[in-house]
Chain A
Amino acid sequence: MKLERRLTQPWWLSVAVPVGSLVVAFALMGVVLALTGHSAWETYRKIFEAGFTGNGAMSATLISATPILFTGLAAAAAFRMQLFNIGAEGQLYLGAIGASWIALQLGDRDVTSTPVFAVAMCVAAAVLGALWASIPGVLRAFARTNEIITSLMLNYVAGLLLTYLIFDSSSYWRDTSTLQARSFPQGKPMPEASNWPTFGSSVVVPLGFLIGILVALGLWVLYTRMRFGFEVGVIADSPRAARYAGMRTRRKILSVMALSGAIAGIGGASQIGDFTYTLDGSPTGLQAAAFGYTGIVVAALARYNPFAVCLVAVLIGGLLNAGYTLQGPDFPSGLVGVMQGIILFCALGGELLLRYRLRITRVRAGKPVAEASL
């Protein structure tokens, strides 16, 4: 039995492998459930219902899916150039900080137009997210410092910043208007007009989700049809060849990191504008949701394709949503994390089949008897 590197990759394999790993993952999880005395079928049915088909389930799923759509796109944008930006988490926080700041500022100036708010919030969020991502970007581009650890560390710094703004300071973001707000720290409520609209009635689609789809489209065009994407492809494959060909590698590293950070930042704006309507600095709020890390899972499963990210974000969002809804004595806790993990493990394992071919030869006395390859 040998592993041989593949010469070409049949296109159907790129779809078959992720789908196959999903199937295997569900099967494995089913076994685990059965072993611990739960009915796999029942559990899956409940998940499916709570996530997609039940009353209001799809809308709730979109709420979970929107942030990870952004962080998934952010991860995909960076990972495609072998830049492992783990910092989407922190970049999202910074985006939220920026968006809430501009919303409050505009509110102070009595602006009432929602489109203005939405645009301003996205811009401010993108700028702050991009800046935050530029730190590991600069360090990687000019000091050759590994971006994995730097972006990871900055996640914690960003989280601490968030906590600081709401809990341990009298910052602009903090609500000090009532006695209760002063004793139990919380963020200022956003002006009414800054609340982002939603679309649809039976399935409620947040504006953020639509923005996310647009971003996905833009990312796809950028990476497959534009010079930017061509350069990204060359640098990802061989930085030496890129330099040889006259490409500005360091500048590209910086721009891709900034782009990734900007996308994650907009995710933060969406959190403020679509859902929370305030800057939530508590350890149990934004920081506990792990949007950034889940986004990486989404991106990996989607094999860094922007459209696939949209799809996978909805799927994982459904899973997460079902997890929240079904939480209770009947439904095993921790199931969501376990499932995500298994799905990802299977996807990672399946990845192997895409790059290598398995060849099974039976050798007898030095001569191959039978050969099969997959």
Chain B
Amino acid sequence: MIVLAQAVLYGTPLLYAALGELLAERSGVLNLGVEGMMLFGAAIGFWITQRVEGSTPVVLFLAVVASAIAGAAMAAIHAFLVITLRANQIVSGLALTIFAGGLGLSAYVGTELGLADLPATHQFRDLDVLGLGDLPLVGPIVFDQSALVYASWGLTLLVALYLGRTRWGLNVRAVGEAPASADVMGINVTLYRYVHVLVGGAFAGVAGACYSLSITAGWTSGDTLVGGAGWIAIALVIFAFWRAELCLAGAYLFGALSALPFALQARDVEVAPEFLYALPYVMTIVVLVLVSTGLAKRRLGAPAALGVPYVREER
């Protein structure tokens, strides 16, 4: 059952990032800069824990808020280019990854602030909720997780309710499917897109903080801190058919897959780890193919206007 525990551990940042990307994509904007936003958020979050004095819960809270803001700031660049200036969303997202990523801004900030090799002064620890952490099977999974994990569950619920039941959720879905119709019905397409991309960035920032404040509890230069999780998150959104609750399931599934090799090795099963690591990617391709063919498209598919800039006053 170590696998399940690992699944939750590694799956949590995936979940945060995926929920964020989900919101952005539901409004019709593809943001490929997730990896960059996560790295930047990780750096900023870690920096706060080093600089701010106070009790652990307070400092961690501030750190999370700071990483959210950092992620949103990065997303703002993409949002401006893509929504207002109608630039190509793919190129802009990639540019953001390079700009903010391990060879870019997060490295710059990290070295300027001297974050490398610093010991973690505050980090998220598992909370033994109600003392039930020792229950067999269920205990460690449900009751012995860190605040970040519990918050992610709450967030999933919130996002699912938001999209499915609230009037703002209906509006944003309309913006992603048929922006022209939404515009005519009086919905501010630009505003909705900006908000959702920025919030998506904030979530990505928090996802990054999961690494520097919990999993690795430290900061290192380069890409290895997050290790490609941002790209997996993008795949995850598709794999989850753009539904929040499926993001949760998928995140833990992908998280489990990354932990599987060690578990199997422990049982002397000879499978090259690479095959298992490759599974999430291959599965995503399969899902994408299924979603793209014909009839499934209407019920399970991507928001129809995903990736297309919306222009109103065009002849």
Contact = CB atoms under 8 A, between A and B. Distances in A.
Direct A–B touching, Cβ under 8 Å: yes
Interface of A: 2, 5, 36, 84, 86, 139, 143-146, 148-150, 152-154, 156-157, 160-161, 163-164, 168-169, 288, 290, 293-294, 296-297, 300, 323, 332-338, 340-342, 344-345, 348-349, 351-352, 355
Interface in B271-292: 272-275, 277-278, 281-282, 284-285, 288-289, 292
Contacts of A290: 103
Interface string B295-314: 00000001000000000011
A345 B103 contact: no
Interface of A is mostly: helix
B87 A334 contact: no
Range of interface residues on B (Cβ < 8 Å): 35 or more
A334 B292 contact: no
B223 to A, nearest CB: 8
10 contacts: A144-B292, A160-B277, A164-B275, A169-B272, A294-B98, A296-B91, A300-B91, A335-B108, A340-B98, A344-B98
A156 B106 CA distance: 23
Given A149-B238, A149-B284, A337-B105, A139 B289 contact: yes
Interface of B: 77, 81, 85-88, 90-92, 94-112, 221, 223, 228, 231, 234-235, 238, 272-275, 277-278, 281-282, 284-285, 288-289, 292-293, 302, 313-315
Q: Which of B77, B106, B107 has the most CB of A within 10 A?
A: B107
Nearest to B90: A84
A334 B274 contact: no
Contacts of B231: 152, 156
A144 B293 contact: yes
A36 B281 contact: no
B103 A337 contact: yes
Contacts, number: 149
A64 B67 CA distance: 34
A348 B108 contact: no
A336 B277 CA distance: 30
B272 to A, nearest CB: 4
A210 B77 CA distance: 37
A334 B103 contact: yes
A337 B90 contact: no
A296 B110 CA distance: 26
A149 B90 CA distance: 11
A163 B274 contact: yes
A87 to B, nearest CB: 11
B228 A156 contact: yes
B101 A146 contact: no
A146 B32 CA distance: 14
Given A334-B103, A348-B95, 16 more contacts: A2-B313, A139-B289, A143-B292, A145-B292, A160-B274, A164-B272, A300-B88, A334-B109, A334-B110, A334-B221, A338-B99, A341-B98, A345-B95, A345-B99, A348-B81, A351-B87
B107 A5 contact: no
A133 to B, nearest CB: 14
Contacts of A335: 108
B94 A334 contact: no
B209 to A, nearest CB: 19
Contacts of A338: 99, 104-105, 108
A351 B238 CA distance: 29
The 10 closest A-B pairs by CB, nearest first: A341-B99, A337-B104, A334-B107, A334-B108, A337-B103, A344-B95, A348-B87, A153-B281, A160-B274, A164-B274
B149 to A, nearest CB: 26
B289 A348 contact: no
A349 B87 contact: yes
A168 B99 contact: no
A341 B87 contact: no
Nearest to A343: B95
A258 B195 CA distance: 39
Contact of A337 (B91, B99, B273): B99
B282 A157 contact: yes
Nearest to A139: B289
B254 to A, nearest CB: 12
B111 to A, nearest CB: 4
Contacts of B87: 348-349, 351-352
Contact of A293 (B94, B111, B221): B94
A86 B90 contact: yes
Contacts of B109: 334
A143 B315 CA distance: 33
A97 B253 CA distance: 31
Contacts of B238: 149
B104 A157 contact: no
B96 A341 contact: yes
Nearest to A164: B274
Given A149-B234, A168-B272, A160 B278 contact: yes
Contact of B81 (A144, A149, A336, A349): A349
Contacts of A341: 95-96, 98-100, 104-105
B170 to A, nearest CB: 25
Nearest to A344: B95
A353 to B, nearest CB: 10
Given A156-B278, A157-B282, A300-B91, A352 B85 contact: yes
Contacts of A296: 91, 94
A140 B103 CA distance: 32
A6 to B, nearest CB: 12
Nearest to B82: A348
B85 A157 contact: no
